[in-house]
C-alpha cells in the first residue's frame, strides 16, 4: 500500500464540486481511498486520521486544495496525482462557466433573486450567510459542520427579517416545483411538507407523486432545527408559510422526535393551525401528545402519505404497509434456504432517515438492533465498522463522509461494506436503500451491483444463501430511470420494494419467531 498528496495553492472549489472530483478519482483501478478537500484545520485533521501528513499540509491555507490518495502501489498513487489537473479541468468544463466571484456579483447579475444556496465549508458559512440575509435573501445551506450557536444566530436574524434559513445540513427542498439539493421529480399539487432530513422529504414527496398527487412546497429545515438548542425556528416559520399558501391544503412534518422544550412549542403552534397537519416523528410514538383537532399522528412515512391523502377527501390510493400473502410465503421460503448459523440482519443505508425508520419498525417487532445512529443509546456500536448481531448502519453519517463523498453520490464505501458483511457466515440478510433524483448518483444500483453479486457468491461458497432486500426512493420521471434500477436489482436476485417501511416489514417477517 502507498500514499501521497498534492496541494494546489489558492485553488478554491465548493463541496459539491469536490465530491464529484473525489468520486472520479476513487473509481480508478487500484485506488483504495481518496480525499479531495480544502485545507481547513478540520480537514487537515481528517487527513492525519487516515495517515496523510506532511509539512506542506501543516502550512497550507484554507483556500488551498489538497488531493490525497491511498493506493495498492506507488505507481497507482503517482498516476492519479499526476492526472489531477486534467481531472479538475474535465469536471470544470462539464459545468456552466461563470464570471461571478462574490455574493455582490451575483446580486448585480440577478437583482431580483430571493434565495442563496451555500455549499461552502462550515467555518465560512456564518460570514457569507449573514451577508446574504442582510441583502434580503432566503438561504438554503447544504453545508454542515456549522457551530450550533452560529446556526441559532442566523435563524434568529432571518426570523427578524421574515426570511427562511433552510439548514445548515439541509439536504432537500422543493420550492414552487424547483428541487434544491437532493430532490426528486414530482408533480405540483396540494401537499406541503416540512422536514430536517433530505431522505425523509424525498420519500414522502416521491410517494405522494407516485400515488397520483403533487407537492406545493417541501421545506427542509436542517438536521438540528428541532433540537432544544435551536428550538424549531425554521420548522415553525415553514409551518407559517405553508399555512398562508393558498395552494397547500395539507401539511406534513417528517422528522425525528424534537427536543422536549421544542416539542411543547411546536404542539402549541399546531393546536392553532387552520389546516390539517400530519406529524411523523420517527423513533417515537406520539399518540399521547395532544396537538389539536387538525393533527394526525403517523408512525411511518408510508402512513403519513396515506393520512395526508385522506385529509383532502380523496379515495386513498396508497395501501397501509402490510405484506401480501405472496410476500409472506416468499419470506418463509427464503428462511428455509439459510444455513443453521445464518441468523442476523445487516442494514447499509445511504439515507439516514431510512436507517432510523428501519430501527423503529424492527424494534416494534421485538428485534433488538445495534447502530452507529441508534434509537436507543444502549445499542450504539463501539466501532461503526464492526457490526454486532442485528445492525443498521447510516453510511451518510459524518464518520463515513468526512473527506469522502456522500453514499448517495458515490457507492464506493457501501460496496466495501457489502463485501465485508458477506464474509460473516452469521449474516442472513442485507437491507439496502437506493435513492434517485437530482444530484444523486446517475446509477446508484450500478455503483454496487458487482458487489451485490460477489457477496451472494461469497456467502453461497461458505455457508448458505445471502438474501438481499432493497427499497428504491424515486419516481419514474427521475433521471436515473426507476424501472431500469428495479430491473437491475431483480435480475441480480434482490427482492425490491417501493418503500423503506415495506422492505423493513418484510425483514421483520423473515426474522419473526418460528
Does the pLDDT of residue 96 top 70, yes or no? no
Does the bond joining 168 to the residue before it have cis omega, within 30 degrees of 0? yes
Hey, how many other C-beta atoms are within 10 angstroms of the C-beta on 292? 13
Entry pTM: 0.87
Q: What is the pLDDT of residues 150-198, one digit of tens each?
A: 999 999 999 999 999 999 999 999 999 999 999 999 999 999 999 997 8
Confidence band of 314 (pLDDT split at 50, 70, 90): low
The pLDDT tens digits of the residues spanning 254-291 come to 998 899 999 999 999 999 999 999 999 998 777 667 76
Closest to 455 (Cα-Cα) out of 470, 472, 473? 470
Half-sphere exposure of 329 (CA within 13 A, CB side): 3
Q: What is the mean pLDDT of residues 78-96?
A: 80
Q: How far apart are CA 424 and CA 389, in angstroms?
A: 11
Q: Which residues touch 320 (CB under 8 Å, ≥6 apart)? A: 302, 303, 306
* Whether the predicted pLDDT of 464 surpasses 90: no
193 neighbors 218 (Cβ within 8 angstroms): yes
pLDDT of residue 346: 98
Identify whether the C-beta of residue 426 lies closer than 8 Å to the C-beta of residue 343.
Answer: yes
The strand order across the sheet containing 2-8 reads 2-8, 65-71, 31-38
Mean pLDDT of 466-488: 97
Stronger pLDDT, 172 or 90, i.e. the higher one: 172
What is d(CA 361, CA 366) in angstroms, rounded to the nearest whole number?
A: 9
Q: Choose between 513 and 403: higher pLDDT.
A: 513
What would the mean pLDDT of 87-106 be, rounded to a whole number?
75
| All three cell numbers of 42 | 478540520
SS (H, E, C) 438-477: ECCCCCHHHHHHHHHHHHHHHHHHHCCCCEEEEEEECCCC
CATH class, 2-94 region: alpha beta
Q: Are 295 and 277 in contact (CB under 8 A)?
A: yes
| Alpha-carbon separation of residue 365 from 281, 368, 424, 509 (angstroms) | 18, 9, 24, 9
Q: Would you state the cell numbers that stand for residue 276, as one nine-digit string?
A: 390539517
Q: Give, in words, the CATH class of 325-510.
A: alpha beta
Residues of the chain with CATH 3.40.50.261: 103-311, 325-510
Query: What does the block give as the cell for 100?
Result: 461571478
In our burial notation (b when 16+ CB lie closer than 10 A, e otherwise), range 12-38 reads ebebbbbbbbbbbbbeeeebbbbbbbb
Quote the pLDDT of residue 413.
85
* Reported confidence tier of residue 47, pLDDT bands at 50, 70, 90: confident
The grid cell for 268 is 402549541
Residue with the three cell numbers 481547513? 40
146/401 Cα distance (integer angstroms): 16
178-181: strand order across its sheet: 178-181, 172-175, 215-220, 188-195, 250-255, 277-281, 295-297
Residues of the chain with CATH 3.30.70.60: 2-94
- For 99-112, how does the pLDDT look when each residue is reduced to its tens digit (9 = 90+)? 777 888 888 889 99
Distance of CA 423 to the CA centre of its chain: 27
Q: What is the pLDDT of residues 11-39, one digit of tens each?
A: 877 766 777 788 788 888 999 888 888 88
State the virtual CA torsion across 90, 185, 191, 16 in degrees, nearest 10: -10
Q: What is the spatial distance between Cα 511 and Cα 490, in angstroms, rounded to a whole number? A: 22
Q: CA 274 to CA 249: how far, in whole Å?
A: 10
CA torsion through residues 241, 246, 247, 250, sign: positive
Nearest-angstrom CA–CA distance, 287 and 301: 15
Residue 304, beta-bridge partner list: none
Per-residue pLDDT reduced to its tens digit, 217-243 = 999 999 999 999 999 999 999 999 999
Distance CA 100, CA 88 (A): 19
Helix and strand tally (H, E) in the chain?
19, 19
Provide the grid cell at 99. Answer: 464570471
Q: What is the mean pLDDT of residues 394-414?
A: 83
Q: How far apart are CA 95 and CA 467, in angstroms?
A: 40
Confidence of residue 51 (pLDDT cuts 50, 70, 90): confident
Across 124-139, average pLDDT: 96
Task: Give the cell for residue 228.
Answer: 432544544
Torsion angles phi and psi, residue 434, rounded to 5: -130, 130
Per-residue pLDDT of 337-384, as tens digits, reads 899 899 999 999 999 999 999 999 999 999 999 999 999 999 999 999
Query: What is the spatial distance between Cα 110 and Cα 8, in angstroms, rounded to a whole number?
Result: 31
Neighbours of 213 (CB within 10 A): 23
pLDDT of residue 467: 96
Level-2 CATH architecture, domain 103-311: 3-Layer(aba) Sandwich (3.40)
Amino acid at each position: 500500500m502507498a500514499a501521497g498528496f498534492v496541494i494546489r495553492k489558492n485553488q478554491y472549489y465548493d463541496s459539491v464540486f469536490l465530491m464529484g472530483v473525489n468520486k472520479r478519482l476513487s473509481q480508478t483501478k487500484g485506488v483504495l481511498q481518496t480525499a479531495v478537500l480544502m485545507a481547513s484545520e478540520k480537514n487537515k485533521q481528517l487527513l492525519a486520521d487516515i495517515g496523510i501528513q506532511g509539512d506542506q499540509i501543516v502550512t497550507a491555507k484554507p483556500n488551498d486544495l489538497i488531493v490525497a490518495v491511498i493506493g495498492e502501489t506507488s505507481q497507482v498513487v503517482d498516476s492519479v496525482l499526476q492526472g489531477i489537473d486534467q481531472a479538475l479541468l474535465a469536471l470544470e468544463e462539464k459545468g456552466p462557466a461563470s464570471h461571478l466571484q462574490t455574493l455582490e456579483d451575483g446580486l448585480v447579475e440577478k437583482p431580483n433573486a430571493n434565495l442563496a444556496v451555500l455549499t461552502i465549508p462550515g467555518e465560512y458559512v456564518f460570514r457569507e450567510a449573514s451577508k446574504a440575509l442582510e441583502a434580503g435573501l432566503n438561504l438554503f445551506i447544504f453545508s454542515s459542520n456549522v457551530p450550533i450557536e452560529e446556526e441559532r444566530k442566523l435563524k434568529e436574524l432571518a426570523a427578524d427579517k421574515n426570511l427562511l434559513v433552510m439548514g445548515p445540513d439541509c439536504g432537500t427542498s422543493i420550492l414552487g416545483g424547483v428541487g434544491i439539493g437532493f430532490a426528486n421529480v414530482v408533480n405540483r399539487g396540494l401537499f406541503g411538507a416540512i422536514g430536517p432530513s433530505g431522505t425523509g422529504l424525498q420519500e414522502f414527496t416521491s410517494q405522494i407523486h407516485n400515488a397520483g398527487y403533487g407537492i406545493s412546497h417541501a421545506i427542509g429545515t436542517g438536521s438540528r432545527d428541532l433540537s432544544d438548542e435551536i428550538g424549531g425556528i425554521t420548522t415553525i416559520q415553514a409551518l407559517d408559510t405553508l399555512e398562508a399558501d393558498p395552494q397547500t391544503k395539507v401539511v406534513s412534518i417528517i422528522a425525528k422526535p424534537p427536543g422536549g422544550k421544542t416539542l411543547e412549542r411546536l404542539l402549541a403552534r399546531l393546536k392553532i393551525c387552520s389546516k390539517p397537519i400530519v406529524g411523523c416523528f420517527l423513533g417515537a410514538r406520539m399518540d399521547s401528545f395532544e396537538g389539536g383537532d387538525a393533527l394526525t399522528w403517523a408512525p411511518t412515512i408510508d402512513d403519513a402519505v396515506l393520512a395526508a391523502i385522506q385529509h383532502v377527501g380523496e379515495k386513498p390510493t396508497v395501501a397501509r404497509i402490510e405484506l401480501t400473502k405472496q410476500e409472506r410465503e416468499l419470506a418463509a421460503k427464503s428462511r428455509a434456504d439459510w444455513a443453521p448459523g445464518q441468523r442476523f440482519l445487516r442494514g447499509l443505508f445511504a439515507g439516514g432517515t431510512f436507517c432510523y425508520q428501519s430501527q423503529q419498525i424492527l424494534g416494534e417487532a421485538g428485534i433488538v438492533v445495534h447502530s452507529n445512529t441508534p434509537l436507543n443509546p444502549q445499542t450504539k456500536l463501539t466501532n461503526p465498522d464492526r457490526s454486532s448481531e442485528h445492525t443498521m448502519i447510516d453510511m451518510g453519517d459524518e464518520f463515513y463522509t468526512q473527506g469522502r463523498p456522500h453514499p448517495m453520490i458515490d457507492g464506493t464505501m457501501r460496496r466495501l461494506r457489502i463485501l465485508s458483511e458477506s464474509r460473516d457466515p452469521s449474516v442472513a440478510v442485507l437491507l439496502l436503500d437506493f435513492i434517485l433524483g437530482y444530484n444523486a448518483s446517475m446509477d446508484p444500483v450500478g455503483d454496487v451491483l458487482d458487489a451485490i453479486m460477489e457477496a451472494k457468491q461469497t456467502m453461497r461458497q461458505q455457508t448458505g444463501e445471502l438474501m438481499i432486500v432493497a427499497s428504491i426512493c424515486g419516481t419514474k420521471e427521475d433521471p436515473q430511470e426507476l424501472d431500469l434500477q428495479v430491473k437491475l436489482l431483480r435480475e441480480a436476485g434482490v427482492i425490491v420494494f417501493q418503500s423503506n417501511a415495506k422492505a423493513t416489514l418484510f425483514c421483520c417477517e423473515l426474522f419473526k419467531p418460528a
